[in-house]
Amino acid sequence: MDFTKFVSMLVRKGLFFSRLDKLNDPFEGSLPKLNVVDLEKNVPPEIANNPVEVQEFRDAIKNFRLALKRLRSWTYVSTWHMAEQESAAMWKLYARTEEAVCVRSTYAKLRNFLPSGVFVGRVIYIDYAQQVIGLNNVLWPCVHKRKSFEHERELRAVISDLANAFSTTKVPPDDGVWQDVDLASLIESVYIAPTAPIWFKNTVQDTITQFGYRFPVVRSTLDESPLW
């Protein structure tokens, strides 16, 4: 993340959860093609000969799909990259300047220091033209993405306001919400972006100290020189 976003974390003492519909993938929270086809065509056999009940069924399916679309606006996610090593691709995608940082933690800590009502799980990457997702949980569309994004190896923490999603056509006024988190326990270390100037590491360390934290600050391993 950019340094300004990191400072916001320290100021707010928590994590920012972005609205799902504000992310850059228009497929976020949507259903794969075969799910939609199945919902539209598969009328329960016990009502197949009753036009009134068939129409009611189709109306219910239409309302369900509209509610899922609205759910995008009332679902908020904190996204993480899962890997043992730094990713050069992630730095390029999410660090817009050399003055950026990467916060490192673990799945267990993220799970333990978020409230129980926050869903945490890996994103599952599928072919949206050929595969389906289960519909036994309305949050499943929020943790599935197209295979084109597999390089992100994403873990998501998800907050969903189901009450508003299924009861109003309005959208939230803000682009996201903040969730209080014990950052001192959550964060293991802070990495400095590759090629960042020398002074930047000191600035990050001083800022962390001023907010009363003691996270170790580490230069990116991508800055290391090869041995010949």
Q: What is the pLDDT of residues 4-48, one digit of tens each?
A: 999 999 999 999 999 999 998 999 999 999 998 888 788 888 888
Residue 130 has pLDDT above 90, yes or no: yes
Of 35-44, 45-54, 98-107, which has the strongest mean pLDDT? Answer: 98-107
Contacting residues for 111 by C-beta, under 8 A, at least 6 apart = 120
Neighbours of 204 (CB within 10 A): 23
Contacts of the segment 209-214: beta carbons below 8 A, 24+ positions apart: 211/10, 211/11, 213/10, 213/183, 213/184, 213/187, 214/184
| Band of residue 223 on the pLDDT scale cut at 50, 70, 90 | confident
CA-to-CA distance for 142 and 126, rounded, in angstroms?
A: 13
Residue 167 has pLDDT above 90, yes or no: no
Domain residue spans in the chain? 3-223
Residue 58 has pLDDT above 90, yes or no: no
Q: What is the pLDDT of residues 140-156, one digit of tens each?
A: 999 999 999 999 999 99
Residue 168 has pLDDT above 80, yes or no: no
Question: Which of 49-53, 181-185, 190-194 has the least mean pLDDT?
Answer: 49-53
Instruction: Please give the pLDDT value at position 110.
Output: 95
AA letter at 23: L
Pairing state of beta strands 75-81 and 14-19?
antiparallel
